[in-house]
Amino acid sequence: MIDALISFVNENLGVLFVIAIFPGLAFILGFVIFAVWYQRKYLARLMIRMGPVHCGGRMGWLQLIADAMKLVAKELIFPRAANKTLFLFASVVLPVIPAAMIALIPFAPGLIIYDAAGVSLLVFFAISTLFPVVSVIRGWAANNKFTIIGAFRNIYLDIAGEIPVFLASIGVMIWAGTYDLNEIVLKQASMWFIVPQFLGFIVFFIGFLAMIEKVPFDIPTAETELIYGPNTEYSGAMFLNMMEADYINLLAWTLLMITLYFGGYNGPPIFADPVLNGVFWILVKLIIAITIIFTITISYARLRIDQAVKMGWNYLLPLSILNILLTLAMKFYLGGV
Amino acid sequence: MAGSEVKRPGFLARVVKPFIHVARHALKSPVTHKYPFERIKGFERTRGYITLNMDTCIGCGACGYACPDEAIYFFPVEGRKYTYPAIDYGKCSFCGLCVETCPTASLAHTDLVELAGYEYEELVYMPSELKPINIKEVLPEVRRFLITTMTKDGPKYILFKEGGED
Amino acid sequence: MTTPIKRYSPFGEIEEVGEGLFKLNVGPQHPISGQGRFIVLTDGERVFDIEVDIGYSHRGIEKILEYKTFVQGIVPVERMVMLDTSNILMGYVGAIEKVMDIEPPPRANYIRTIIMEMNRIVSHLYALGLLSESAAWNPAVFLWTTADREPFLDLLEMLTGARWSYSFFVPGGVRADIPRGFIERLKATLDWFEKRIEVYEEAWIYNELFRMRTEGMGVVSRQNAIEWGLAGPNLRASGVPYDTRKNEPYAAYGELDFKIVTHTAGDSYARGWARVEEMKVSIDIIRQAIDNMPDGPVRVRMPPRPKPGEALFRVETGRGEMNVYIVSDGKEKPYRIKISPASFRNFYTIEMLPKTQEILLADVPVLIYSFDPWFLDADR
Amino acid sequence: MNDDILERIKSLAGEALVEIKSPEDKRIYVKVKPEAIVDVARRLKDELGFDMPISAGGTDYPKKNVIELFWAIWNSGMNKVVILKCEVDRDSPSIESLTGVWPGVQKFEREMWELLGVDFKGHPRLKPLLLPEDWTEGYPLRKDFDLKPYRAKWGDRI
């Protein structure tokens, strides 16, 4: 038994490493811990204060671990009127969905958890549509006015945001001529797709902000109106899961943006260094991207749901279709990549 | 309609400039300080913990009459001839009317405010306990004292003195 | 959800509502509610009625004052609004001075003016921060304003001895003269603060997304503003040029030259914007007061007892006009003091607004904080 | 002071006027009989332009056995405040509500109803405002409301 296990591990060491360590589970959880800490420290500096300082000696680096321990140790409170099965189910399943999206992202040549046989971009979007569904389940199961309003807002927002995002990424597909994220990355070795796909990127980025539900699109969890939107009733470890889901979602979509428009694991074309290509560059880009996203979250006001939906359908959708036509025209005249 | 009277700058100024302003704040130094380790020194007039000089006090009771919170009681002290004020810091609002009223200037403010205790009784200071308190006794963690100043670029803390030299 | 049929009686509850409506309890435990409760009648997005439930922090200050001497009353009165203590206290002290028929010395008036304007800046900074925080859980501007009021609080501590609740005005003047080094530091602070206001304008007031949220939302017409008894910057944002500092000058305002900030829009944006402009006016007033300050004593003796009589004293606090109606029966304690603070009046407008125009649930926090209400103020 | 305005108020109040004075430039104290309060208020608003309510309250006089109510109204045109007063019987205080004239006094009247026990007829929302919903211990702003029991409960700790 044990021998069989050891031999199984030995034979599949690479796969297990990819799933469990990098870019799999450990990396995702590590990123959540880092991102929360980084958000707190960085935003604190933007607000001219210090952020956590005491926990873990310097820079408060243990703060999130301490918070997580506190949350796990707390009681799980199920509201009396809640549907307890679905309530628990949603909180367990929610972080899995964005984590599954990450499995499709190439981190280096060959370093990918699940290579979806040439259609990985489509699979990515297919999985991402599950997120609002589970989100509605969590809002509905809690049986609370605030959560249900937040859950319905989540549907409106996700539909309004996801269609432009998908159509914008179709521009990339046309330009690259493939559905496969790995090939899209390879084709960006000499020029990142943000240059030919600039209009598409703008549309993608605004929709992307709606997908990660950060300000100005944190409408479902609007704290000033809905307390914490669909998550209001969750406590303890379930709350931790919800928060994790938010950050994993951020990670997944940011990685997609980097992969589609910023050359994935390629270094900048001007000093493309084959040695550094791969994990190093993707992490650098990730940190720059979340820095910008965090800055955006505190620079702007939150849109109203009607304004956000209007923006999605009235402006982003036509623009994304225009982008597809432009891409086709460019491809026709310039002959593509 | 709205906006007619207010400046409406261009699109970039409305969308990009807020972002730049926010990002620029990352370069500023924080305005907060690590409280138990660093403590801001009060000003000369700062109203805090009140001390009593029993040698000059004549027990006239003016402070008790002036107190709006009825936080001052009078107790006799062994070996002295008057009754002296005791202060209930659970009620005191640090308005300073007692200090101002005192005809012999026996009451005085200090800048100490760290008076919290676990029991209500700890907040009631009898006349003989109204002595100056060394801050090290109530705030043992303190390492440095800061004072606030105003410079051209904004407010700044400067080091008043290290705590150890007290 | 079906669209409800609604009929409003002019001054009361909704008479008839359709299906699909429910009540949301926004408060007393809610990120934006403060020490009170808003009962919001909504169908999920549209808001049909807001009822403001105040009284969670009712301390009966009016009753307490009947038991205190005139000077002792200073301390409870200040507890009405911690942010704005000197303006609130001016209302009380001014009413006593009126009923006692004493006039503070001119230097005391100027010192009062400086303190009150600094307090107004502090109050408006907080209002601006809360407005930004309500429009997005955007703590940046809120914490900037919190940090930027700190120099003013330091100055006030230097002058009065306390960061809040200064207890510095007494009937007949102020308790102490200006300390050494205060004026220089105040001037430096004002110079620096002018630059900070520019940052607020560019980062927040001109911010496109903030404008999208507030412009044209929560419009109070001039007529309604007067009838509903709106107060303060909110009133001026609706186009009524009323400012107690100008219309019924007290302290040193009669001798200073400043403008009243008025807007015609009357929407949430104009109210937020009015506060930023008023901070500039306050800086101007402080500078004039420093330049024109006369020498002399800062306090006159107050008679122990007033003559029997009554007086109504109006004062412009940071949140709007507050007035104090005092009845004296010739004893050393007031017979009756009626304080009507600004927030108490502003809450009525918040209740009335959803009945005149379309308000969405997301607008509720922005709407409320554009009026800068304060429950402690309204509860007394 | 304000002689012409005083004359006009006298003429519009007519029989109902009890007392009128103007001790300073911007204040006019008018006391009328309670029966005529709505009529006088409406004419003050329509004919003289006193349009903005800024305060309202009441004072309890147990010796005279009356409660004196006042409404302070600002005139946006003239920049003067009229303080409209009337006395109601202390045993069963009741008066017509002025919310129909000045909507803004709604909350003030609600407060008076709650704290002084004055009944306002025609007021749309006479519900507890500042006190708890289940308050049964009397009217706090009346002079015979004693604070001593509350001091014993909450006050002295030693």
Residue A15 is predicted with a pLDDT of 77
Contacts of B122 in chain D (CB under 8 A): none
Average pLDDT over residues C54-70: 85
Secondary structure (H, E, C), chain B? CCCCCCCCCCHHHHHHHHHHHHHHHHHCCCCCCCCCCEEECCCCCCCCCEEECCCCCCCCCHHHHHCCCCCEEEEECCCCCCEEEEEECCCCCCCCHHHHHCCCCCEEECCCCCCCCCCHHHHEECHHHCCCCCHHHHCCCCCEEEEEEEECCEEEEEEEEEHHHC
Residues C25 and C56: beta-carbon distance below 8 Å:
no
Is B88 part of the contact surface with chain D (CB cutoff 8 Å)? yes
Tell me the residue type at B113: V
Rounded Cα–Cα distance for residues C235 and C238 (Å): 5
Window C:192-211, CB contacts with B under 8 Å:
192, 196, 199, 202-204, 206-209, 211
From the list B44, B148, B152, the residue facing C179 with the nearest CB is B44
For B20-73, how does the pLDDT look when each residue is reduced to its tens digit (9 = 90+)? 888 888 888 888 888 888 888 888 888 888 888 888 888 888 888 888 888 888
Instruction: Inspect the interface and report whether the beta carbons of D104 and C60 lie closer than 8 Å.
Output: no
Comparing A217-221, C82-86, D154-158, the range with the smallest average pLDDT is D154-158
Structure tokens at A127: 């999985």
Nearest of C293, C315, C313 to residue C246 by alpha carbon:
C315
Nearest-by-Cβ selection for B14 from C75, C147, C208:
C208
Q: Which residues of D touch B120 (CB under 8 A)?
A: 157
Give the pLDDT mean for B137-162. Answer: 81
Task: Give me the pLDDT at residue B97, please.
Answer: 87
C129 CA to chain B: closest CA distance, Å?
A: 14
Please tell me which residue of chain D has the smallest CA distance to C344: D107
Diameter of chain C by CA atoms?
A: 71
CA A34 to chain centre: 15
Cβ-defined contact of A216 to C209 (cutoff 8 Å): yes
Q: What pLDDT is attached to residue D154?
A: 57
Residue D81 to residue D91: CA distance in whole angstroms:
30
Q: Are D76 and C226 in contact (CB under 8 A)?
A: yes
Please name the helix (run of DSSP H) or strand (run of DSSP E) that holds residue C282, with its range, or none: helix C268-292
Where b means 16+ CB within 10 Å and e means fewer, C341-367 reads bbbbbbbbbbbbbbbeeebbbbbbbbb
Which residue has 């300390």 as its token pair?
A: C179
3-class DSSP state of D14: helix
Q: How far apart are CA A153 and CA A305, in angstroms?
A: 7
The pLDDT of residue C372 is above 70: yes
Q: Is the peptide bond before D140 cis (omega within 30 degrees of 0)?
A: no
Cβ contact, residue pair A49, B32, below 8 Å:
yes
Asked if B124 is an interface residue toward chain D (Cβ–Cβ < 8 A), one would say yes
Q: Which of A143, A300, A314 is the mutation pick for testing C, counting most C CBs within 10 A?
A: A300
Nearest neighbour of A50 by CB, restricted to B22, B25, B30: B30
- The model's confidence at residue A288, banded by pLDDT at 50, 70 and 90, is very high
Q: How far apart, in whole angstroms, are the C-alpha atoms of residue B153 and residue C58? A: 42
Q: What is the phi/psi pair of residue B83, to 5°?
A: -100, 140
Fold of B50-132: Alpha-Beta Plaits (3.30.70)
| Contact yes or no for B31 and A48 at CB 8 A | yes
Burial class (CB in 10 A: 0-12, 13-18, 19+), B154: buried
Contact status of C200 with chain A (Cβ, < 8 Å): no
Where do the domains of chain B lie? 50-132
**C10-53 per-position pLDDT tens digit:** 434 444 455 667 788 887 888 887 788 888 888 878 888 888 88
CA atoms within 13 A on the CB side of C279: 27
For the entire predicted model, the pTM comes to 0.88
pLDDT along chain D (158 residues), means of 10: 78 80 85 85 84 88 88 86 87 85 86 86 83 82 81 56
Which of A42, A50, A202 to probe by mutation at the B interface, max B CB count within 10 Å?
A: A50
Residue B5, pLDDT above cutoff 80 = no
Q: Does A300 touch chain B (CB under 8 A)?
A: yes
- For chain D, positions 129-148, list CB contacts with chain C under 8 A: 129-132, 140-141, 145, 147
Gap between the Cα atoms of A52 and C377, Å rounded:
34
> Can you give the residue ranges of every domain in chain A?
1-73, 80-334
In chain C, where the domains are located: 61-342
- The structural domains of chain D, ordered by start, are 3-155 (3.30.460.80)
Whole-angstrom distance, CA of residue C338 vs CA of residue C312: 9
| A300 contact residues in C (CB cutoff 8 A) | 136, 138, 207, 209-210
Q: pLDDT tens digits for C269-282?
A: 888 888 888 899 99
Q: What's the rounded Cα separation, in Å, for the pair C330 and B91?
A: 30
Interchain CB contacts (distance < 8 Å): A and B: 34
CB D92 within 8 A of CB D145: no
D119 touches chain C (CB under 8 A): no
Q: Is the pLDDT of residue A51 over 80?
A: yes
pLDDT of residue A274: 64
Q: Would you state the structure tokens that stand for residue A150, as one six-digit string?
A: 């937040």
For chain B, give the mean pLDDT.
82
Amino acid residing at D43: R
Those residues of chain B whose CB sits closer than 8 Å to some CB in chain A are 18-19, 21-23, 25-26, 28-32, 34
Picking from C55, C67, C248, the nearest residue to D147 by CB comes out as C67
Residue of C349, A80, A38, C60 lying closest to D137 (CA atoms): C60
Q: For A235-280, write each residue's pLDDT tens digit.
A: 888 888 888 888 999 999 999 998 888 887 877 777 656 666 678 8
Residues C61-342: name the CATH superfamily: Cytochrome-c3 Hydrogenase, chain B (1.10.645.10)
pLDDT given for residue C18 in this prediction: 56
Pairing of strands B38-40, B144-151: parallel
CA distance B85 to chain D (A): 15
C240-273 pLDDT tens trace: 888 888 888 888 888 888 888 888 888 888 888 8
Q: Is B25's CB within 8 Å of A295's CB?
A: no
pLDDT at residue number C15 = 45
Q: In D62-116, which ranges are E strands? A: 66-75, 80-89, 94-96
Q: Phi and psi for B84 in degrees, rounded to 5?
A: -120, 155
* Closest chain D C-alpha to B108 CA, distance in angstroms: 24
Task: From residue A286, give the alpha-carbon distance in Å to each of A30, A251, C80.
Answer: 13, 8, 49
**Do C328 and A272 contact (CB within 8 A), yes or no?**
no
Nearest alpha-carbon partner for C31 in A160, A221, A95, B165: A221
Tell me what the mean pLDDT of segment C197-213 comes to.
85
Q: What is the pLDDT of residues C301-342, one digit of tens each?
A: 888 888 888 888 889 888 888 889 998 888 888 888 989 888
Residue D155: count other Cβ atoms within 10 Å of its Cβ.
11
Q: Which residues on adjacent β-strands are paired with residue D115?
A: none
CB-based contact A219 C362, cutoff 8 Å: yes
Confirm or reject contact between A2 and chain B (CB < 8 A): no
Question: What number is the average pLDDT over the span A122-139?
Answer: 87
- Tokens standing for residue C30: 């809610």
What's the pLDDT score for residue C24? 81
Looking at residue A272, what is its pLDDT?
59
Return phi, psi of residue C174, to 5°. Answer: -120, 165
- Per-residue pLDDT reduced to its tens digit, B83-99: 888 888 888 888 888 88
Distance from CA of B21 to the nearest CA of D (A): 41
Query: Under a CB-based contact definition with an 8 Å cutoff, are residues A145 and A194 in contact?
Result: no
Short-list A289, A206, A295, A302, CA closest to A252: A289
Q: At what angle do helices C139-148 and A25-46 cross, to 10 degrees?
A: 40
Q: Mutation target for B interface from D150, D151, D154, D158: give the one with most B CBs within 10 A.
A: D158
| Position D107, amino acid | K
pLDDT of residue D157: 44
Is there a contact between A145 and C209 if contact means CB atoms under 8 Å apart? Answer: no
Distance, in angstroms, between B78 CA and closest chain C CA? 32
Are the C-beta atoms of residues A303 and A216 closer than 8 Å to each other? yes
Chain C residues with beta carbon closer than 8 angstroms to that of A224: 31-32, 133-137, 365
pLDDT at A289: 92
Contacts of B69 in chain C (CB under 8 A): 75
> Are C271 and C232 a contacting pair, CB within 8 Å?
no
Considering only CB atoms, C321 lies closest to which of D54, D105, D147, namely D54
Express each pLDDT in C90-133 by its tens digit: 989 988 888 888 888 989 899 999 999 999 999 999 888 888 88
Q: How far apart are alpha carbons C201 and C280 in whole angstroms?
A: 12
